[in-house]
């Protein structure tokens, strides 16, 4: 049973529950909310693309009037870059000859240069073939444009609980599958605390089965 109490400081949420040995116990929102948020964050970190979701996303992206949406989704899955890093990427940070991309400032405040696969190089060549006047960004879209397109795509495909950030989780998890080490993946993802990467290192059951048979 939950109740809302008004105090001099304003509204506060209190949750009450009964324990046979202790009687009724009340826990304030100050203690509940951090636990709930932590639980939800853990669920979001564990999320990967489920069977069929990748295909649904790509098909939905291909129906967008904005041709950049599909390219952004593919680039996110191939590189593991955050949405903000992708949208802030300029052509002078891209070296197609050396197959690398430099992120000048990431979420943790550090810069990093990451290698990119041949398929990503091909994708960037495709992007370069679509010149946009007076815009040096690789993907000339705003965060709001991507957010709105993403929301519409989820409704059309009936995909549940999928945030754009899951694409980064998917990418990092895929980096581990061919055998990249934790330090190698960290150099791509930008994680400073290597322990954070272990939550990404989920091997699909089908991959384990292949090794057992």
Query: Domains in the chain, please, with CATH?
Result: 2-46 (no CATH), 53-212 (1.10.443.10)
Taking the C-alpha atoms of residue 148 and residue 151, their distance in angstroms, rounded to an integer, is: 5
The whole-angstrom separation of Cα 163 and Cα 156 is 15
Catalytic residue among 82, 83, 169, 174: 82
Q: Which residues of 19-35 are buried (b: 16+ CB within 10 A; e: fewer)?
A: eeeeeeeeeebeeeeee
Q: Verify whether residue 54 is a known catalytic residue.
A: no
Give the model's pLDDT for residue 205.
Answer: 55
The span from the CA of 64 to the CA of 56, in Å, is: 13
**Per-residue pLDDT, 114:** 94
The pLDDT assigned to 207 comes to 64
Q: Which of 112, 169, 174, 200 is catalytic?
A: 200
What pLDDT sits at residue 204?
55
- The residue annotated as part of the active site, out of 71, 83, 112, 191, is 191
Active site residue 82: yes
DSSP SS3 for 63: coil
- Whole-number Å distance between alpha carbons of 147 and 84: 11
Beta pairing partners, 90: 137
Give the active site residue among 50, 64, 107, 155. Answer: 107
Q: What is the pTM of this model?
A: 0.73
Contact 59/53 with Cβ under 8 angstroms? no
50 as an active site residue: the answer is no
Tens digit of each residue's pLDDT (9 = 90 or more) over 121-155: 999 999 987 767 678 999 999 999 999 999 999 99
Which segments of the chain have a pLDDT < 50?
A: 1-19, 22, 35-44
Select which of 48, 137, 165, 202 is catalytic: 165
The per-residue pLDDT for 197 is 80
Which residue is catalytic, options 112, 168, 169, 174? 168
CA nearest to 175, candidates 162, 184, 166? 184
Tell me, yes or no, if 165 is annotated catalytic.
yes
């Amino acid at each position: 049973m939950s109740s809302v109490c008004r105090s001099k400081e304003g509204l506060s949420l209190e949750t009450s529950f009964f324990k046979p040995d202790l009687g009724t116990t009340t826990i304030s929102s100050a203690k509940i909310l951090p636990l709930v948020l932590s639980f939800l964050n853990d669920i979001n970190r564990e999320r990967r693309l489920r069977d069929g979701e990748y295909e649904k996303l790509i098909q939905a992206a291909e129906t967008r009037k904005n041709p950049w949406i599909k390219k952004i989704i593919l680039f996110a899955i191939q590189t593991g870059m955050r949405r903000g890093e992708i949208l802030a990427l300029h052509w002078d940070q891209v070296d197609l000859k050396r197959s690398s991309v430099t992120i000048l400032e990431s979420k943790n405040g550090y810069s990093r240069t990451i290698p990119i696969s041949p398929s990503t190089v091909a994708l960037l060549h495709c992007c370069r073939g679509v010149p946009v006047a007076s815009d040096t960004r690789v993907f000339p879209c705003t965060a709001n444009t991507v957010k709105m397109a993403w929301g519409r795509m989820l409704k059309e495909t009936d995909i549940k609980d999928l945030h754009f950030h899951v694409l980064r989780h998917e990418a990092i998890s895929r980096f581990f599958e061919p055998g990249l080490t934790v330090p190698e993946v960290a150099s791509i993802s930008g994680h400073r605390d290597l322990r954070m990467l272990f939550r990404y290192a989920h091997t699909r059951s089908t991959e384990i089965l292949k090794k057992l048979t």
